Amino acid sequence: MKIFISVFLVLLLAGCQATRFHNPEGIAQNQLAYIFKQPHKPFSSKPSAFINAVFDANGSLVMQFKPMQNAIKEAYLKPGEYKFILQCNYGGGATDAEIIAVVEVGKSYRYSCGITPEKVYIGARILHKSYTIFEEVEI
Protein backbone atom coordinates (compact mmCIF):
# COMPACT_ATOMS: atom_id res chain seq x y z
CA MET A 1 0.00 0.00 0.00
CA LYS A 2 2.83 2.42 0.84
CA ILE A 3 4.42 1.76 -2.54
CA PHE A 4 1.13 2.45 -4.33
CA ILE A 5 0.67 5.77 -2.52
CA SER A 6 4.29 6.78 -3.24
CA VAL A 7 3.96 5.97 -6.94
CA PHE A 8 0.62 7.81 -7.11
CA LEU A 9 2.10 10.95 -5.50
CA VAL A 10 5.13 10.93 -7.83
CA LEU A 11 2.91 10.61 -10.91
CA LEU A 12 0.54 13.29 -9.64
CA LEU A 13 3.31 15.79 -8.93
CA ALA A 14 5.20 15.02 -12.14
CA GLY A 15 2.08 15.67 -14.19
CA CYS A 16 1.39 19.11 -12.75
CA GLN A 17 3.37 21.04 -15.35
CA ALA A 18 3.88 20.63 -19.06
CA THR A 19 6.11 21.59 -21.96
CA ARG A 20 4.32 23.11 -24.94
CA PHE A 21 5.50 23.58 -28.51
CA HIS A 22 4.53 26.19 -31.09
CA ASN A 23 6.10 24.89 -34.25
CA PRO A 24 3.58 24.82 -37.11
CA GLU A 25 6.32 24.54 -39.75
CA GLY A 26 8.00 21.52 -38.12
CA ILE A 27 11.33 23.30 -37.53
CA ALA A 28 14.06 21.23 -35.82
CA GLN A 29 13.91 21.65 -32.04
CA ASN A 30 17.45 23.13 -31.89
CA GLN A 31 16.20 25.94 -34.18
CA LEU A 32 13.44 26.94 -31.76
CA ALA A 33 13.68 29.27 -28.76
CA TYR A 34 13.40 27.61 -25.35
CA ILE A 35 11.45 29.44 -22.63
CA PHE A 36 11.45 28.10 -19.08
CA LYS A 37 10.34 28.99 -15.59
CA GLN A 38 12.71 30.30 -12.93
CA PRO A 39 12.86 27.50 -10.34
CA HIS A 40 10.73 28.31 -7.31
CA LYS A 41 11.66 27.15 -3.82
CA PRO A 42 8.84 25.92 -1.58
CA PHE A 43 7.85 28.39 1.15
CA SER A 44 9.68 31.20 -0.66
CA SER A 45 8.38 34.74 -0.23
CA LYS A 46 9.02 35.35 -3.95
CA PRO A 47 6.09 34.79 -6.30
CA SER A 48 5.96 31.73 -8.53
CA ALA A 49 4.96 32.06 -12.17
CA PHE A 50 3.60 30.08 -15.07
CA ILE A 51 2.63 30.94 -18.62
CA ASN A 52 -1.06 31.73 -18.83
CA ALA A 53 -1.09 32.60 -22.56
CA VAL A 54 1.20 33.43 -25.48
CA PHE A 55 0.22 35.54 -28.50
CA ASP A 56 2.26 35.99 -31.69
CA ALA A 57 3.06 39.37 -33.32
CA ASN A 58 -0.29 39.26 -35.19
CA GLY A 59 -2.20 38.87 -31.92
CA SER A 60 -3.08 35.22 -32.58
CA LEU A 61 -3.19 32.95 -29.55
CA VAL A 62 -0.47 30.28 -29.90
CA MET A 63 -0.79 28.59 -26.50
CA GLN A 64 -2.92 28.96 -23.41
CA PHE A 65 -3.32 27.34 -20.01
CA LYS A 66 -6.79 25.91 -19.56
CA PRO A 67 -8.39 24.61 -16.36
CA MET A 68 -7.96 20.87 -15.92
CA GLN A 69 -4.73 20.93 -17.96
CA ASN A 70 -1.17 21.02 -16.76
CA ALA A 71 0.36 24.44 -16.11
CA ILE A 72 2.77 25.62 -18.82
CA LYS A 73 6.19 25.48 -17.18
CA GLU A 74 8.29 25.63 -20.34
CA ALA A 75 7.77 26.12 -24.05
CA TYR A 76 9.54 25.89 -27.39
CA LEU A 77 8.61 28.63 -29.83
CA LYS A 78 9.62 29.41 -33.37
CA PRO A 79 11.68 32.64 -33.50
CA GLY A 80 9.69 35.87 -33.49
CA GLU A 81 7.92 38.43 -31.34
CA TYR A 82 5.46 37.23 -28.71
CA LYS A 83 3.32 38.66 -25.94
CA PHE A 84 3.55 36.51 -22.82
CA ILE A 85 0.85 36.65 -20.14
CA LEU A 86 2.15 35.18 -16.90
CA GLN A 87 0.18 34.30 -13.82
CA CYS A 88 2.12 35.42 -10.76
CA ASN A 89 1.15 33.53 -7.60
CA TYR A 90 2.16 34.74 -4.17
CA GLY A 91 0.98 34.31 -0.60
CA GLY A 92 -1.74 36.94 -0.90
CA GLY A 93 -3.21 35.89 -4.23
CA ALA A 94 -2.45 35.83 -7.93
CA THR A 95 -2.26 38.51 -10.61
CA ASP A 96 -1.35 38.54 -14.28
CA ALA A 97 1.66 40.31 -15.75
CA GLU A 98 2.61 40.64 -19.40
CA ILE A 99 5.66 41.34 -21.50
CA ILE A 100 6.39 41.57 -25.21
CA ALA A 101 9.65 39.87 -26.15
CA VAL A 102 11.51 38.78 -29.27
CA VAL A 103 12.89 35.24 -29.06
CA GLU A 104 15.71 34.10 -31.32
CA VAL A 105 16.84 30.84 -32.92
CA GLY A 106 18.40 28.37 -30.48
CA LYS A 107 18.43 30.78 -27.51
CA SER A 108 17.08 30.15 -24.01
CA TYR A 109 14.99 32.52 -21.92
CA ARG A 110 14.00 32.34 -18.26
CA TYR A 111 10.84 33.95 -16.92
CA SER A 112 9.67 34.81 -13.43
CA CYS A 113 7.50 37.37 -11.64
CA GLY A 114 8.00 40.04 -9.05
CA ILE A 115 5.50 42.00 -7.01
CA THR A 116 5.44 45.68 -6.14
CA PRO A 117 4.07 47.46 -3.07
CA GLU A 118 1.48 49.02 -5.40
CA LYS A 119 -2.03 47.63 -4.87
CA VAL A 120 -4.52 46.42 -7.47
CA TYR A 121 -8.20 46.40 -6.54
CA ILE A 122 -10.24 43.57 -8.05
CA GLY A 123 -13.75 43.71 -6.68
CA ALA A 124 -13.44 43.38 -2.91
CA ARG A 125 -9.93 41.90 -3.18
CA ILE A 126 -6.77 43.94 -2.76
CA LEU A 127 -3.78 42.38 -4.51
CA HIS A 128 -0.23 43.44 -5.21
CA LYS A 129 0.65 44.56 -8.73
CA SER A 130 3.05 42.14 -10.42
CA TYR A 131 5.67 42.47 -13.13
CA THR A 132 7.45 40.06 -15.46
CA ILE A 133 11.13 39.25 -15.54
CA PHE A 134 12.18 37.77 -18.91
CA GLU A 135 15.87 37.30 -19.62
CA GLU A 136 18.13 35.46 -22.05
CA VAL A 137 20.32 32.88 -20.29
CA GLU A 138 23.00 30.37 -21.16
CA ILE A 139 22.18 26.77 -20.28
Q: Output the tens digit of pLDDT for each of the chain's 139 residues.
A: 444 333 333 333 334 446 788 777 888 889 999 999 988 777 777 888 989 999 999 999 999 988 767 788 899 999 999 999 999 888 777 888 999 999 999 999 999 998 888 877 777 677 778 888 999 999 8
Q: For the chain, what are the domain ranges?
A: 18-137
Q: Is 68 exposed, middle or buried (0-12, 13-18, 19+ CB in 10 A)?
A: exposed
Name the phi and psi angles at 128, rounded to 5: -85, 145
CA-CA-CA-CA dihedral for 38, 42, 43, 45, to nearest 10: 0
CB 106 within 8 A of CB 72: no
Distance (Å, whole) CA 112 – CA 132: 6
pTM here is: 0.77
